[in-house]
Structure 1
Amino acid sequence: MTLLRGTLERLVNHIWYRGSVLSWVLLPLSWPVRWVVGRRRRQAPAKGGTPSGMSVIVVGGLTAGGTGKTPVLIALGKWLMGRGYRVGVVSRGYKGRRPTELHWVAETDSAAMVGDEPALIRRDLKVPVLVGRDRKMALNTLAQGGQVDVVLSDDGLQHYGMPRDVEIVVLDAERGLGNGRLLPAGPLREPGSRLASVDWVLERNSDDPGRGFFYQPTVATHLATGRAVPWQDCVADWHQQAVVALTGLGQPGQFFTMLAEQGLGLRTVALADHEAITAVHLESCVEPVILVTAKDAVKLPRETDPRVWAVEIEVALPASLLARLEGLLPAPAQIDC
């Protein structure tokens, strides 16, 4: 099943990003998607209308698949908290098997229950994270507590029923909008013209100083012990060792390239998007060092193979985006002690 899924993902990427003629075959299936998206978009309320005393920022995507939305959201959350805002997060909780429609993510929750992205966000930001398919309901639930100034929506650009104040779209500079067609003939969830109505467009690995952002490794965490080691120290130790990079990211090449640029000699293993790394995967690796992403790590048990290290990254957001947000957001609420 895993092999079949990986094969299908590679075929889809070929159709969407490599100019395959199969896109033309699928094009008629995109026409009803265009009609539904256009109808929902016309019925969507204008920006604003968010709960009193609360601002909502959507960090979303126009294309299917990974573009770096979650690392951007985490970086934005840290920036907001550094300026005194009380941050909360709503997320769908993709692939989570939670028992209720709305679920507050706890530090002890597994990624299998709440989804890997909410688990990672809760771990890194330590703020209220609420998962549920109905984002408007999740937003209203957060508002009732009166403990949040800014809500970040992990994805949800197309969840038109959720009010929002600011929309940020995250793209991959290399892939862009692919062949420019809507699903399933192309990667687009909405027409490319939608970019004209959002507040900001970010592009991973773009040289544009107003749009570009990059991943920078900071530390590696040894999963079996929880020990965090500065990244440059790890690179020095592993430079002459055999290393394998193993991940279930939607665009694994991004992770592999980042590591190769650090001077590491790598063997790479790409699993299907969101696929959890298992003991079988780890046992098949003969290398003394196994590198995974933080998103992979939240799906692994603490009592895991002692060769596994999680590469932690930081994202530097463009200064122009942060200046724009300072102009759009009200001042943080003053909380009486």
Structure 2
Amino acid sequence: MSSLERAWYSRARWLLVLRPLSSLFTALVNRRRQKLRRYRVISRDIPVPVVIVGNISVGGTGKTPLVIALIEHLREAGYTPGVISRGYGARADAYPFAVRADTPAEQGGDEPCLIVRRTGVPLYIDPDRVSAAKALLAAHPCDVLISDDGLQHYALPRDIELAVIDGARGLGNGRCLPEGPLREPPERLACVDWVVINGAASPEGLPDLKRTPVLMQLEPGVLWKLQGDARVAAGEWQGSRQVHAVAGIGHPARFFDTLRALGFDPVEHPFPDHAGYTPEQLTFDDPLPVIMTEKDAVKCQDSAPEDTWVLPVEARLDPAFIDTFLNQLAECSAQMMDNHNGSKVT
């Protein structure tokens, strides 16, 4: 965590010197928010419901596990979902770009590559999310789109918005950039359909919400070896319990705490979110095993040591939330169908 991030979440008093810049930033994003109301009612050329999974703070909050969980629940309910993303850090040859299971992470972005490898879902990246949506729908018969991030991408129409908050870190000092970690003021959460709390605690500073926040728990899965087919549950691990723990995610401490809860003694190696790796960064002075996040694994196939393991996580959600979410989505789909049929009447 950078010194600025530590200041945000420890509510350092010196951040007050940044208040004028923060106030200007807040005014600008509030102006952009007004577009949202317009995009909700104007004619649109994306013919399927769009579900936004985003956040209002910089850094990771747990969006990707939630996207994967929603894909699985949508499929169980009979939907054919597709995913669109900016593709943070991706260097595609051209956009829109279709991410496939064999797409290198540096070309498709670490999170899009992870989502595709886990689910096989059609996924297109483009800084212009509307362009990505049109390209995906032209190539695949999807009946719902999930936007991985995009809460602030107001050019993209949206039917359901979910905002994810890290329950451990919350909203920091509750201020917008650069005084605080927020991309939009806390009041923005009152406008979304669902606030999803990643972790057991509901943080302070939340405005009055449309619904009670949804709690999401990230449960560790079975460890798998990065190079090979070996798989083992943490409780059946036969190797050293002291391991090198590598995490280039928004909140590496959460990963290290998970390893400790599983009985490991992690030697912590935190990296910036979306970090790229060289073999030298993953070469240590002892033969201890390495355990990394699944997000890091998509970038380390050729650079990690032989004894490297991956710990995936699964998002667990309240079944009542899933039922209500699916009912809301069905209503959106039916309304879009009615509007489409009505437009044909002359």
TM-score under structure 2 normalisation? Answer: 0.87
Tell me how far 1:137 sits from its aligned partner: 1.3
Counterpart in the other structure of 1:34: 26
Q: Give the one of 139, 143, 148 matched to 2:133.
A: 139
1:12 corresponds to 2:15: no
Tell me how far 1:75 sits from its aligned partner: 0.9
2:69 counterpart letter in structure 1: A
RMSD: 2.0
Distance 1:160 1:52 in 2: 14
Residues 182 and 188 of structure 1 are in contact (CA less than 8 Å); yes or no, is this contact kept in structure 2? yes
Tell me how far 1:227 sits from its aligned partner: 2.8
C-alpha spacing 1:277/1:78, structure 2 compared with 1 (3 Å): same
Residue deviations 1:194-227, cap 9 Å, x none? Answer: 1111000111112569521111111111011133
Tell me how far 1:172 sits from its aligned partner: 0.9
Counterpart in the other structure of 1:6: none
Residues 249 and 273 of structure 1 are in contact (CA less than 8 Å); yes or no, is this contact kept in structure 2? yes
Counterpart in the other structure of 1:189: 183
Matches within 5 A, 1:1-337: 9-44=1-36, 45-47=38-40, 51=45, 53-145=47-139, 147-207=141-201, 211-234=214-237, 237-238=238-239, 240-302=240-302, 304-330=304-330
Unaligned stretches of 5+ in structure 2? 203-211, 335-346
Tell me how far 1:271 sits from its aligned partner: 1.3
Tell me how far 1:288 sits from its aligned partner: 2.4
- Bigger mean CA deviation after superposition, 108-117 or 14-23: 14-23
Distance 2:199 2:328 in 1: 26
C-alpha spacing 1:52/1:244, structure 2 compared with 1 (3 Å): closer
1:223 counterpart letter in structure 2: L
Residues 90 and 130 of structure 1 are in contact (CA less than 8 Å); yes or no, is this contact kept in structure 2? yes
Query: What SS does structure 2 have at the residue aligned with 1:72?
Result: helix
Tell me how far 1:229 sits from its aligned partner: 2.7
1:77 counterpart letter in structure 2: I
Residues 243 and 265 of structure 2 are in contact (CA less than 8 Å); yes or no, is this contact kept in structure 1? yes
Aligned structure 1 segments of 4 or more residues deviating by more than 3 angstroms: 46-53, 207-210
1:42 counterpart letter in structure 2: Q
Query: What SS does structure 1 have at the residue aligned with 2:250?
Result: coil
Residue deviations 1:258-313, cap 9 Å, x none? Answer: 11011112211111221123211221252421000000000012574211001011
Distance 2:187 2:195 in 1: 12
Tell me how far 1:327 sits from its aligned partner: 1.4
Unaligned stretches of 5+ in structure 1? 1-8
TM-score under structure 1 normalisation? Answer: 0.90
Residues 46 and 134 of structure 2 are in contact (CA less than 8 Å); yes or no, is this contact kept in structure 1? no
Distance 1:68 1:226 in 2: 27
Distance 2:26 2:18 in 1: 13
| Number of aligned residues | 322
Tell me how far 1:183 sits from its aligned partner: 0.6
Residues 53 and 146 of structure 2 are in contact (CA less than 8 Å); yes or no, is this contact kept in structure 1? yes
Tell me how far 1:27 sits from its aligned partner: 1.3
Tell me how far 1:323 sits from its aligned partner: 1.7
Query: What SS does structure 2 have at the residue aligned with 1:28?
Result: helix
Distance 1:51 1:75 in 2: 27
Tell me how far 1:42 sits from its aligned partner: 1.0
Distance 1:288 1:175 in 2: 31
Query: What SS does structure 1 have at the residue aligned with 2:103?
Result: coil
2:19 counterpart letter in structure 1: L
Tell me how far 1:15 sits from its aligned partner: 2.0
Residues 122 and 140 of structure 2 are in contact (CA less than 8 Å); yes or no, is this contact kept in structure 1? no
Query: What SS does structure 2 have at the residue aligned with 1:17?
Result: helix
C-alpha spacing 1:31/1:52, structure 2 compared with 1 (3 Å): closer
Tell me how far 1:159 sits from its aligned partner: 0.2
- Bigger mean CA deviation after superposition, 76-85 or 141-150: 141-150
Tell me how far 1:50 sits from its aligned partner: 5.4
C-alpha spacing 1:50/1:328, structure 2 compared with 1 (3 Å): farther
Counterpart in the other structure of 2:340: none
1:309 counterpart letter in structure 2: W
Distance 1:102 1:46 in 2: 22
